[in-house]
Amino acid sequence: MMNATRYAADDALIAQIETDLAHYQAKYPKGFLVRLHVLGDFFSVAYVAQWAKWLGMFPALHVYGYTANQPDAIDSKERAIGEAILSLRLACGIRFAVRFSGSYSDEFAALSQDDERSIALLADKKAFLCPTQISKETGKLAKKDETTLAASCGECGLCWQASKPVVFLTH
């Protein structure tokens, strides 16, 4: 994270993303996965629509990430963005796997372990702990499932593929 770069959300960014996506579409025509927004979030409904357009333009493109915008938010702008994200996710499935941070109303969520509801979901096996964070805690590679080890998001992929909520340790 300390090496991450924060970009201004402007027309130049949109143009650069499109150039980059065209590059990766040509390089990996069988499929490539973009982890969106290490910093920042979806900032407008138009920006969500832009990703819908890119998913149509670039058939190899897959997206995963997280958003703080909730479809049931009180704030109208946040709610509109959250609804647009949910709509795109329902339309595209694994090609647009964006989880709602802190949501207990949508199973495709990213939760914090410092909430009793998260602990209850883990106990009922209705959620899973991020295996990379477990490995940081123990100093060992953690089990992703019964057979596979995960040392990074690239090796794990659960946030992209699993339908249950992911739970992160409290920072």
142 binds ligand SF4 (CB under 6 A): no
Q: Does 102 bind ligand SF4 (CB under 6 A)?
A: no
Shortest Å, Cβ 64 to ligand SF4: 8
Q: For the chain, where are the alpha helices, taking DSSP H only? A: 11-27, 45-57, 76-92, 116-123, 131-138, 153-156, 158-161
Do 65 and 36 meet the contact criterion of CB atoms below 8 Å apart? yes
Could you say which of 37, 130, 169, 171 contacts ligand SF4 (CB under 6 A)? 130
Residue number, 40 or 59, with CB nearest to ligand SF4: 40
C-alpha–C-alpha distance, residues 28 and 9, integer Å: 26
Could you say whether residue 150 binds ligand SF4 (CB under 6 A)?
Answer: yes
Cβ-count burial 44-80 (b if 16+ within 10 Å, e if not): ebeebeebeebbeebebbbbbbbbbbbbeeeeeebeb
55 binds ligand SF4, rule: CB under 6 A: no
Q: What are phi and psi of 141, to 5 degrees?
A: -70, 135
Smaller CB separation from ligand SF4, 57 or 169 = 169
Q: Does 167 bind ligand SF4 (CB under 6 A)?
A: no
- With contact defined as beta carbons under 8 Å apart, do 16 and 9 qualify? no
Rank residues 88 and 166 by Cβ distance to ligand SF4 and give the closer one: 166
Using the rule CB under 6 A, which residue among 29, 131, 136, 138 binds ligand SF4? 131
Is 159 a binding residue for ligand SF4 by CB under 6 A? The answer is yes
Distance CA(109)–CA(154), nearest Å, equals 19
- Residues forming the site for ligand SF4 (CB under 6 A): 130-132, 150, 153, 156-159, 166
